[in-house]
Chain A
Amino acid sequence: MSDKLLPHGHPTRAPASQRGRTAEVLEHAKALGKQIEVMIDGRAITVPLGATILEAAQQLGIRIPTLCYHEDLCLAGVCRICVVEVEGQRTLQASCSYPITAPIHVKTHTPAVRKARRHILDLMLASHYGECYTCARNGNCELQSLAEEYGVDYFRFGRMEKPRYEIDLSSHALVRDMNKCILCRRCVRTCIDLQEVGVLEAIDRGNRIKITTFGDKPLSDVVCINCGQCINRCPTGALRANDNTDEVWQAIDDPTKHVVIQTAPSPRAGIGECFGLPPGQPMTFRMNTALRYCGFDKVFDTNFAADLTILEEGTELLLRLKAALANDECGMMNDESKSRHSEQSQLQNIHKSSFINHHSPGPLPQFTSCSPGWVKFAEHFYPEYLDHISSCKSPQQMFGALLKTYYAEKTGVDPKDIVTVALMPCSAKKFECNRPEMCASGFKDIDYGLTTRELAKMIREVGVDLPNMNKTDFDEPFGTATGSGVIFGTTGGVMESAIRTVLELVTGKKIESLFDYAEVKPVRGFEGIRYAELPITEVGPVPAIISHLFKDWNWLKGVTLKVAVAHGTANAKLVMEDIKAGGKLSECHFIEFMACPGGCLGGGGQPIPTSPEIRAARAKAIYDEDRSYTIRKSHENPALLQVYADFLTDGPCGHRSHELLHTHYTPRGKYIA
């Protein structure tokens, strides 16, 4: 398993001033396995040539404080808090970005080093405006904990008397308070390197420098995709998610409101971290109890809607495949859709085509639609490809639509009194639930999106110690979902679930006969882009649930399904550019895109910090949970089949489902007025 978020050879767009190891020479040396012995605080250690002092010290268990350094990002060397003494060097060196190329002697806590660190901290505090007790990051702030670690007990160089910058509250997803910014530029590198969005940049010089958007516009007016990856990597409270807990409390406290919450798979794999547990401790059923304790009337599992998505999106894929394979006039990427990709005619046509989408199958490859960060990324940067995106709403929104229709009918609660809350690992979901098109029932599908961090706060507020709660199940009528729904939380999970369902529906054979334990290993892992081919050698009868759409599967016999998975929008961009250039990935039938590195488990609403190890631990929790289920395939979910029998009676991709569960997209382009 590779932790590398950026695929090999991917050029970072951060300027070289913010990179430590540009030297391919050093990369080569590392690859060649050349080793070198260094002394740190009198202790010897052998490291690969080109490793940094920080990496070597970490291996020895020596702690060096860092602020601008982040495991996921290229090296900046700007905060200088990590300085150490390297024998023979006139000045102190930033250990995070100093590559070891000679057998050096390093000292990590000489008087000069300690004094410098303290000064740097004092200088940061002197230009920082904010009070810890009113800060979202109180107790989880790297600046705050360093101040404690270094025993800061007064403002040596004074402090800010008043704020310098207005707080940017324009975005549904993020709040930017640059008064708390320490200019470590982790957000800048995140946005440009991990996400290839690049809305954040440093402007001006000296102490007039600030991190802002292109043109210093509010975040809602730039191409921000709301992924929140910058929040997760900000060491301070300068960036945070737009907090909805007050509104949610208000709804809970209102006796006329019926407040239901759905919980996505990733928060339960992460929330333990907010309560001091190591990453990867699933809290699913304890969290259910805690949610009831908080006062939610019903607790549902988003995985139910994930299963619903698989049926809808899988059916949509089969329809697109049929259109492309069973009759020639709708070939994959036919001439019409190719010409649409020419730059000028794009925008008008897209409106038309995404509208047509509801009625006739769109082109291949089909792209997943459950990551709202990815959807907005595509709307900005690849508007000419919107008809490739599945018209299915995300599970969150599908569930909301069902709650205010099917569930309202079934329970007799007036939909206007139902408040739908979604617990998500995601900041982009806050934007998604406010999209104007997301109110199929006449009411907002989802009223409020909560992040994992916000829920942890609510749970603490009611005085509950989550890890010690007893376990309770989800509420009816949606019951417990399947293992397929759970793995939506990790990169490759949607693809794996879709493969489990589509292959069973088409071949009539158990997926276990193709993949041990139904684990579709080729699409698992953390490689930035993964590709797999799945030959369909034989076909079975068409199952009843979709027999109104397909007569037989003969047209699929002998076809090799080609699928790909990408996570982090930097990788999404590589995939899209490959498709644009007519490369190998343009031949794919289905591609899963997740905006966040690692998939939802690495979402912008998850506990902070994040790192490759933390994400791997969360993924393990998710895959373990999948294994623990008896039903592991979406199309076998009994509650779901009940919904199709009672409510969505014209079946997957039928009329009702189109009305409630499908949507369309907005070509936004890169330039916003």
Chain B
Amino acid sequence: MIVETTHGSLTFCSIEPGSGLDSTLERPPANALGRIEASGLRGRGGAGFPTSLKWDLAIKSPGENKYVICNADEGEPGTFKDRVILSDFADLVFEGMTIGAFVIGAKRGIVYLRGEYAYLRSHLETVLRRRRAQNLLGKKIRGRDGFDFDIEIRMGAGAYVCGEETALIESLEGQRGEPRNRPPFPIDTGYLGNPTIVNNVETFAWVVCILAKGAKWFNSIGTKKSTGLKLFSVSGDCSQPGVYEFPMGITVAELLKEVGGEGAKAVQVGGAAGQCVPAAQFERTIAYEDVPTGGSVIVFGPDRDMLRVAENFLEFFADESCGQCTPCREGTPKLIEGVKMLQQGRCSMHYIHELCSLGETMQLASKCGLGQMAPNAFLSIVEHFQDEILGRIGK
């Protein structure tokens, strides 16, 4: 079901590997950090945490063995942009990690690769070997005394929740993939208790672009709070699904026009964890301050049954919940039951309200992002498609 065409020429194509790194190494780490801060880059994994802030916290956290981890677990339904980056622009990712290591003072890096992407591994290992040979990895990188850094690749085992950064670390440590209590955050107690930065594949790639093309170039694109460009994985009922590069702040309508999805009745932005935007709100912008996304856009045409959509997403979460905390573990199946009742037309208005209220509790009280986002699709569908849903009552 996943298509892998890339539309238009991506910025990444124009970046010469090595260009960002050499200029970075010539100056103190604080300089690179300052430029990333000026660019306004925020994490491309979904949560949108300012990258420079995360790195700065890791710099300040005391510890000898700091780690750089690249989150390549890409498990969000409808997301495949990291796969494109890993297969076509692996150099940028490794270079971004190397810059991260230089900035925070790390010696080791790990790519946590989604189990289903195992076929990419040999390609990535080849690139790593080449970079070692070029002295872009290893000891005394580019002749800089004291800058040693290398990267290893570790495989995930197919659990979506392991994309959550602390569950990812648990998994790396050989435990059940369950999110940790936060705080403390990985920047303090990450992999094996060491200060660790976890960033998305795409985040690392943009770091290289920013250092090569300048912070100004990046922050002149997008909105004030959501700067720069972003990759989108577009799928669903549109004529040209695939991976796109758009500026942040693009409206849903503009996006639909580009991908041939004009007739859509709704768009799911941000994957299963994201929001379902109805046609009436297509003027909304895709940005951290409005409709945030890790890059997944799923288009729903006029014939889609929105209850089925909600059910599908919820079943995904019920299946992928680690089962640790009560709201997510027990709440999601209750929402599924509710959807089934709605489908059969035997859910009272009272109970729908009860379930929506439960959804709010899940958003607030779940331990990790999975449970916090699990009810999103349900809540937005109930809110925006009341007529379609309630139409079945009493049928």
Residues of A at the B interface (CB closer than 8 Å) are: 15-26, 75, 77-81, 83, 91-92, 94, 97-99, 101, 112, 115-116, 119-120, 123-124, 126-127, 156-158, 182-183, 202, 204-209
Contacts and interface: CB of A to CB of B under 8 A. Distances in A.
Contacts, number: 144
B361 A120 contact: yes
A15 B178 contact: yes
A120 B331 CA distance: 8
The residue among B181, B321, B322, B372 with the most chain A CB atoms within 10 A of its own CB is B181
B79 interface: no
Nearest to B178: A17
Contacts of A98: 181, 183
Interface string B24-54: 0000000000000000000000000000000
Contacts of B323: 183, 202, 204-209
B366 interface: yes
Nearest to B321: A206
Contacts of B167: 17
B330 interface: yes
Contacts of A77: 181, 325, 367
A563 B139 CA distance: 52
16 contacts: A17-B181, A20-B181, A23-B184, A79-B325, A94-B181, A116-B361, A116-B365, A119-B331, A120-B361, A123-B330, A182-B326, A183-B323, A206-B319, A206-B320, A206-B321, A206-B322
Contact of A126 (B179, B330, B357, B363): B330
B96 interface: no
B334 A123 contact: yes
The residue among B320, B321, B334 with the most chain A CB atoms within 10 A of its own CB is B334
A91 B363 contact: yes
Contacts of B337: 158
B305 interface: no
B331 A16 contact: no
Contact of B318 (A18, A124, A207): A207
A16 B367 contact: no
B326 A17 contact: no
Interface string B62-104: 1000000000000000000000000000000000000000000
B365 A183 contact: no
Contacts of B302: none
B223 interface: no
A79 B330 CA distance: 11
Given A25-B62, A80-B325, A115-B357, A75 B181 contact: yes
A127 B327 CA distance: 12
Given A17-B324, A78-B326, A80-B325, A99 B184 contact: yes
A119 B184 contact: no
Interface stretch (B168-176, B239-247, B273-281, B287-295): B168-176
B361 A115 contact: yes
Given A16-B180, A80-B326, A120-B326, 13 more contacts: A15-B176, A17-B180, A23-B184, A77-B325, A78-B324, A78-B326, A78-B367, A91-B364, A115-B361, A119-B361, A123-B330, A157-B334, A209-B323
A28 to B, nearest CB: 9
B172 to A, nearest CB: 11
A126 B332 CA distance: 13
A508 B307 CA distance: 88
The 9 A-B residue pairs whose C-beta atoms are closest, nearest first, are A209-B323, A123-B330, A15-B175, A17-B178, A119-B361, A116-B365, A77-B181, A97-B181, A23-B184
B166 interface: yes
B143 interface: no
A398 to B, nearest CB: 44
B367 A94 contact: yes
Contacts of A208: 323
B343 interface: no
Nearest to A184: B326
A26 B318 contact: no
Interface string B291-330: 0000000000000000000000000001111111111011
B342 to A, nearest CB: 15
Contacts of B388: none
Contacts of A75: 181
A17 B357 CA distance: 28
Contact of A120 (B62, B319, B324, B327): B327
A281 B282 CA distance: 71
Given A17-B170, A206-B318, A22 B333 contact: no
Given A124-B326, A183-B323, A207-B323, A83 B365 contact: yes
Contacts of B354: 156-157
Contacts of A22: 184, 189, 193
The residue among A20, A25, A77, A206 with the most chain B CB atoms within 10 A of its own CB is A206
Contact of B327 (A17, A119, A126): A119
Contacts of A157: 330, 334, 354, 358
Given A16-B180, A202-B323, A206-B323, A80 B193 contact: no
A116 B330 contact: no
B159 interface: yes
A99 B321 CA distance: 25
A158 B334 CA distance: 9
A63 to B, nearest CB: 18
Contacts of B361: 115-116, 119-120
Contacts of A116: 327, 361, 364-365
